[in-house]
Structure 1
Amino acid sequence: MKYFVSVLVGAMSYGILSTIVVHAYDRGFTLGEVVGSQLSFGFLLAWLLAAFIKLKQKRGTITGGMPANPPAAWRKLEWKHKLLLVLAGTPSAVTGLLYYHSLKYIPASLAIIMLFQFTWIGVVLQAIIQRKRPSRVILLALVVLLIGTALAAGLAAPGGAQFNMTGMGLGLLSAISYSLMILFSGKAVPDAHPAYRSAWMSTGSVALVFILFPPHFLFNGHLFEGLLLFGALLGLFGAFIPPLLYAIGIPHIGEGMASILGAAELPVAVLLSTFVLHEHVSGLQWAGVVLVLAGIALPEWMKQKQQKQRHTGPHSLQA
């Protein structure tokens, strides 16, 4: 259960970000400053945690961290593993850049809907990787997702919705990179300690952003003009808590269940957009949000139901 909860809390943390970013833009901060400050704080927190875990392990006061296994159960990271984790961390930075940039063009409630196209994109990626056609349940779920997306985006509203295509395109691209982030979070050195995995992945994220957007904010005084608070909040809820909790939970529950639990980000983001940013979200759009959540949950629900039937079938025959 703790692995389910860890991924769920990580996803809910992501749902807070768009509201914070919109307020940062209102204060005049740029995309590079917002993402750079977020990942800088996330990088700092991740490595502080890794150093704390290492110190405790040396003193023998903990048994390996999260989950509680002996230290020998965790893979010792060699340079090839560290490099792999650094590369696996780059989709997180790309997702943040694309998603936050889309918020300049479209409302936060619509941007999160576009980000959530990662659900069907993830299905397509898995089908390509496994060279296997999606099942009928998956195809049904995709239909539900697309209908829900259309409703949530306001396509069914009178007169339809007016879209900024740049914002929509950026949101869709963020969904692709988010799908890769979930994939790599589960596949990249899963038997290494989550704290160390998170630290090296955060290194890849911050390095990529600093290459694209040199961190002038560290020296020009903007940190003390309000960016420090925004960066700290975004770093905590975007660059530290979710990657760490995903690194803990996803290797144990799988990418499929992680996608379902990751859906918690959607209602959190839409609720905050409604009550904090005062964006209008109609009842029809809320119905679309519910359909999106249902489409995400449907495949895993059917899978669990089939497994339960197979498990209880022999016992019922014996009885």
Structure 2
Amino acid sequence: MPLLDFYGVLGIWLTAGLALPFVNVLNMFTPPQLMVFRGFLTATMAFIGLRGVIGRVDKHTYLIALILPFATLGLFEGIRHWGAGPTIIIITATPLVNLVIGAFLGRRVSSASITGLVLVLGGVVMARWGGHFQWVGFAWTLFGTIMNGILYEFFARAKATSLQKCFWACMGTGTLGLVMSTNASWTPIAELNVALLVLGFAFVGGFLYWIANLLAFENLPTTEASVLAQGETPAVILGATVLLGEHLTLVQWVGVVIALYGAWYLSRWLAKQAVQKQPPKKNLKLSFVRLRRLRWRNVFGLIQEYCISEILKSPMIGDFYKGRIRVESY
């Protein structure tokens, strides 16, 4: 794996593992307030990266800006209510949402997709086996998972650059958080240590996370990058263990592994379906084979005719040959 690819994948794991548990570390703020910090600060960094030139974008980029805030809200609320570990385990089932969307859009559902479905669901059930269950947290996480699946559909269709997507999506996230924080208290941000934690949360979990995804998905095939990015699930669980004291049993860890394998299996099948729908590329090799089959004497004949025609265009040589032709005709 090239160095940039490695940094991108490792960055996804580290930024997700560090930032998502901080939703509960910064419990003096509501999840919508954290959306304000992460959204507007990350949008500002993207604006600087774009050098102030946002440019026109397509409708799917605006749809990303509409859907991502709700996906983030479901993620943050889920973490706040029942922890980062349970939330990220359910989020792993996002490919199932894309499978259901594909079925509604008329995509073929094969036995391979059913196998992936069973693996993901079985792994999620095992990962939550024996753990505490909280209906509100589960509902928010399920909502975030559905929004996440819809978001992936728009990401595949959007034509904007990575920084343009980042800017508009984060502006939408900050705006929704601000609307939902009208009655919240902003007093804790006046403390220097809290302000530094918020800035680090926005920088690591927002801007660096986007940059890591940019490096991974622009330097690796989409399927490979998607599979490697699933490593953020155990990274978040480990981060929650260190920062929040959350723990999983051996059976739950086995469930995490099974769910990750099912997500990889399902993502690979979805990628194959996308490749099959692409128009066939022209076979340039066949054209060269046909060219080689031309008779060399015809090729040299064409070259000779072209050279003679160019020579005759010269006034001196052309007049000489024309005069010679006239003399010989007498």
- Please indicate, yes or no, whether the TM-score normalized by the shorter chain is above 0.5: yes
Question: Aligned residue for 2:302?
Answer: none
State the shift of 1:209 in Å.
2.3
> What is the distance in 1 between the residues matched to 2:65 and 2:13?
17
Alignment-mate amino acid for residue 228 of structure 2: L
Q: CA deviation at 1:280?
A: 2.3
Equivalence for 1:133 = 108
Q: For 1:301 and 1:32, how far apart are their aligned partners in 2?
A: 34
The 5 A counterparts of 1:83-102 are: 84-102=60-78
2:42 is the counterpart of 1:14: no
After superposition, the CA RMSD in angstroms is 3.2
Q: Deviation per CA, 1:21-67: give whole Å up to 9, x if none.
A: 11111xx2222222211212211211111118x6xxxxxxxxxxxxx
Partner of 2:44: 44
Post-superposition Cα deviations, 1:185-235, rounded to whole Å, max 9, x if no partner, equal: 23211xx43223322332222223223334976xx5432224422322221
Number of corresponding residues: 271
Of structures 1 and 2, the larger Rg is shown by: 2
Higher RCO (CA < 8 A, seq sep 6+): 1
Of 230, 241, 244, 1:277 maps to: 244
Deviations 1:240-295 (A, max 9, x none): 23334445654786765454233111010111122332212101111011111111
Identical residues among aligned pairs (%): 20
1:48-127 maps to which residues of 2 (within 5 A)?
48-51=48-51, 77-78=55-56, 81=57, 84-127=60-103
2:179 aligned partner: 211
Match of 1:59 in 2: none
Deviation at 1:96, TM superposition (A): 2.0
Segments of 5+ residues of structure 2 without an aligned counterpart are 276-330
| Partner residue, 1:33 | 33
Q: Which amino acid aligns with 2:116?
A: A
Report the equivalent of 2:162: 194
| TM-score normalised by structure 1 residue count | 0.73
CA distance in structure 2 between the partners assigned to 1:211 and 1:303 by the alignment: 36
Whether the aligned pair in 2 keeps the contact of 1:89 and 1:181 (CA below 8 Å) is no
Question: Relative to 1, partners in 2 of residues 1:143 and 1:231: Cα closer, same or farther, differing over 3 Å?
Answer: same
SS in 1 for 2:230: helix
With 8-17 and 170-179 compared, the bigger mean Cα shift is at 8-17
- Matched with 2:127 is 152
Range 92-101 or range 234-243, more displaced: 234-243
Change (3 A) 1:223 1:304: closer
Residue aligning to 2:118 = 143
**For 2:16 and 2:66, how far apart are their aligned partners in 1?**
17
Contact 1:106 1:167 in 2 (8 A): yes
Matched, 1:238 2:205: yes
How has the CA–CA distance of structure 1 residues 152 and 165 changed in structure 2, closer, same or farther, with 3 Å as cutoff? same
Which AA in structure 2 matches 1:169?
Answer: A
Q: C-alpha separation between the residues in 1 aligned to 2:258 and 2:110?
A: 19
Is 1:287 aligned with 2:257?
no
Indicate the residue corresponding to 2:189 in structure 1. 223
Equivalent residues of 1:19, 1:269 under 8 A apart: yes
1:177 matched residue in structure 2: 147
Measure how far apart 1:121 and its partner are: 1.2
Amino acid at match of 2:17: G
Structure 1 unaligned regions, length at least 5: 55-75, 308-319
Structure 1 residues 5 and 165: CA distance shift in structure 2, 3 A: same
- Check whether the contact 1:20–1:234 (CA below 8 A) recurs between aligned residues: yes
Q: Mean Cα displacement is larger for which, 106-115 or 8-17? A: 8-17
Taking the aligned partners of 2:183 and 2:39, their CA distance within structure 1 comes to 11
After TM superposition, the score normalised by the length of structure 2 is: 0.71
- Alpha carbons 1:149, 1:292 under 8 Å: kept: yes
Asked whether the 8 Å contact 1:50–1:195 carries over to 2, the reply is: yes
Rounded to whole Å, the distance in 1 between the matches of 2:271 and 2:62 is 34
